[in-house]
Amino acid sequence: MRILIVEDNEALADSISVALRKVGFAVDVLDNGDDAELVLSSQDFDAAILDLNLPGKDGLEVLKTVRARGRLTPVLILTARQGVEDRVTGLDLGADDYLCKPFELKELEARVRALLRRSQGKAAPVLAVGPLSLDSVGRRLYIDEEPVDLSRRELGVLEIMMIKAGKVVSKEQIAEHLFDFDEEVGLNAIEIYVHRVRKKIGDAAAIRTIRGLGYLLEKN
């Protein structure tokens, strides 16, 4: 899953990005509202964490413009503003959640996971396809309740396929959700990760290659 952080406090942005990368997210960081508006209007993210007090356009302006352009990226607002009116304004402009500073990183992680589940229509933190179950909180895969060791990248590839089980997922879609701005990744790398995941899940589920389109995860 790919997350955009828009925060001009460098130390805070670094702390958030490190915490989210540790639990398996691909993370991009911006420090001003003008760049955030441009990127959120033109690129797909699974979620965005948006500070309100930004250089250039403030977070509320960014959110208003992005929503007016029809972009549906789930947005969690971060702010030091404690007033109820500020929270109401943000939610009315299309924010999905609100977190006041200071906050605990564990709470932020939990809110991001909840935001992602809601956006995908998944109420529970566990994805299941046949005997496969993926714990999105503990970042662990199980087959018939037995744990399976996957690397962070392998888990990310399988997570995307499980979210879209029964639908074709292209290599480009996988790459968009798996890697951040600074990583140059050839589509051949996706083939390698898919091959590794196939070997590790064995007959628990089938990952079919749909020539020219991508991959399809199905129950066996």
Q: Where are the domains of the chain?
A: 2-119, 126-219
Bigger pLDDT: 65 or 183?
65
Q: What is the mean pLDDT of residues 200-208?
A: 95
Is pLDDT above 60 for 199?
Answer: yes
Q: How far is it, in rounded angstroms, from Cα 77 to Cα 151?
A: 30
pTM of the entire structure?
A: 0.73
Architecture of domain 2-119 in this structure: 3-Layer(aba) Sandwich (3.40)
Q: How far is it, in rounded angstroms, from Cα 66 to Cα 83?
A: 23
pLDDT of residue 137: 73
Residues 6 or more apart in contact with residue 134 via CB below 8 angstroms: 126, 127, 128, 140, 141, 142, 155, 158, 159, 162
Q: How far is it, in rounded angstroms, from Cα 147 to Cα 156?
A: 16
**Going by CATH, does the domain composed of 126-219 fall within 1.10.630.10?**
no
Q: What is the pLDDT of residues 86-103, one digit of tens each?
A: 778 888 888 999 898 889
Q: What is the pLDDT of residues 64-83, one digit of tens each?
A: 999 999 898 999 999 887 66
Percent of the chain with pLDDT over 90: 56
- CA 207 to chain CA centroid, nearest Å: 22
